[in-house]
Amino acid sequence: MLFICLLVLIVVGGQNIFYTYIAPFLIGSAGFPEASVGALLFVYGGAGAVGLVLAGVVGSRYPRGGLYAMLLVVIAAVVVIGSSAGVPAVVIACLLVWGAAFGGIPALLQTRLLHTASPRVRDVGAALLTTAFNVGIGGGAAIGGALFDVIPVPALAFVQAAVIGLGVVLLVVADARRSSTGRASVDGDRDVEPQFTSEIPVPPQTGSIPRQRPAGR
């Protein structure tokens, strides 16, 4: 449960390193007019709603694979955006893909936490998850703000991709350890042979032992 909260912190923090400053990127780096920023963000938000629906469809059947796929698509989309800042058509297409992919990630992470946490700590887990989201949003924005005057704005996309990539690596390692632990447990159960005993308990025979009369009577 705590690992999932850490993963949320990394993924959401990485997302907001770049997304918080998407308007300066669209205007200064991609060359869009200032008046079009609202429409572009609307396109991004609409794609996020579509991604949420996709997460409900795919996540119910392939929760682990769906999370991996969406994280990798976000990484690919922001890398292409950072590399193609001067091509408006590519930027718009990647905004659509980015919004759709990231729109389903919070739901998949929350589902994963609810499946992992026991009912006894599920309420605490939901609270920690919300805290991780908020800290990730603020922390990512703070990191992006510190980098904003140090590196070019398109480079923030590569920082986001690297941070989310770190989250994917940690997720792969955690899932691999969990799978190996599960296989070891199953193999251990199979290796334990049932113990048989040759002693067959015999029920006591009523009246088989004669009762002795107490002494002195």
Q: Give the single-character DSSP code of 62.
A: -
Length of the chain counted residue by residue: 217
pLDDT band at 213 (very low <50, low <70, confident <90, very high): very low
Q: Across the chain, what does the average pLDDT equal?
A: 84
Selected residue with higher pLDDT from 46 and 60: 46
The closest of 31, 140, 174, 3 to 89, measured between CA atoms, is 31
pLDDT-derived band at 182, boundaries 50, 70, 90: low
Q: What is the pLDDT of residue 115?
A: 79
Position 58 scores a pLDDT of: 82
- Residue 123: count of CB within 10 angstroms of its CB: 10
**Residue-level pLDDT at 183:** 58
**What global pTM score does this model have?**
0.79
Residue 112, pLDDT > 70, answer: yes
Round to whole Å and give the CA distance between 128 and 105.
Answer: 17
169/75 Cα distance (integer angstroms): 13
- The alpha carbon of 103 is separated from its chain's Cα centroid by a whole number of angstroms, namely 13
Assess whether pLDDT exceeds 90 at residue 79. Answer: yes
Is 100 within 8 Å of 54 (Cβ atoms)? Answer: yes
Across residues 80-97, what is the average pLDDT? 93
- 210 pLDDT above the threshold of 70: no
Does residue 128 or residue 185 have the better pLDDT?
128
Comparing 97 with 62, the larger pLDDT belongs to 97
Locate all alpha helices (DSSP H) within 37-154, ordered by sequence: 37-61, 63-83, 88-116, 122-148
Report percent pLDDT > 90 for the chain: 59
Average confidence (pLDDT) over 43-60: 89
Percent of the chain with pLDDT over 70: 83
> Which is more confident, 117 or 26?
26
Comparing 178 with 48, the larger pLDDT belongs to: 48
- Residue owning tokens 């629906």: 53
Ranges 35-49, 101-115, 166-180, most confident: 35-49
